[in-house]
Amino acid sequence: SAFYIFLQRQFFLGVPRELFEAARLDGASAWGLFWRIAMPLSIPSFIIVFLFEFQASWNNLQAALIYLNAGSVEEFTAPLGIAYAMTKYSPSAGGQGDYQYVMVASLLVTLPMLIIFAFGQRYFVEGVATQGRKG
C-alpha cells in the first residue's frame, strides 16, 4: 500500500544522518549501513506496518464477498460469517432477532486483534518516542 511506503519513508527520514556518517567512517559498506544501523532502528515501524496490514486483512469483507459468496457457509471468513449471521437472525428475514449469537461472534472475532495489539503496543510507543527525540 502507498500508505505503508510513505510511513516507512517518513520513519527513515527521521533517522539521524550522523549514525550513518559515523558507521561510514568506521568502514561500513552500504549493505552494512542498512543491516547494522537502519534495520534495527526501523523494527518498530515494520511492526506497525505489520499490525496495520494484519488488521486490514482480518477485517476485509469486500474480498471475501467477491471470492467466497457462492461457496458454503463453512468456508466463510469471520467478517463474512458475521454478515451472514446478521441476515440470518434478522426479523425481516424470518429470524427471531437472536442477535446475542452475532454479538458473541463479534467478540470472538475481535479478541485476536486485541491480543495482537496488546503485544504490539510497545512498538507504537517506541516508534513515537523515537520520532519525538529529534531536534
pLDDT of residue 135: 46
Q: How confident is the model at residue 120 (pLDDT cuts 50, 70, 90)?
A: confident
What cell does 111 get?
479478541
pLDDT of residue 5: 92
For the beta carbon of residue 11, count every other beta carbon within 10 angstroms.
20
Which comes out higher in pLDDT, residue 118 or 126? 118
Q: What is the DSSP letter of 91?
A: G
Q: Indicate if the pLDDT at residue 39 is higher than 50.
A: yes
What cell does 82 get?
458475521
What cell does 112 get?
485476536
pTM (two decimals): 0.70
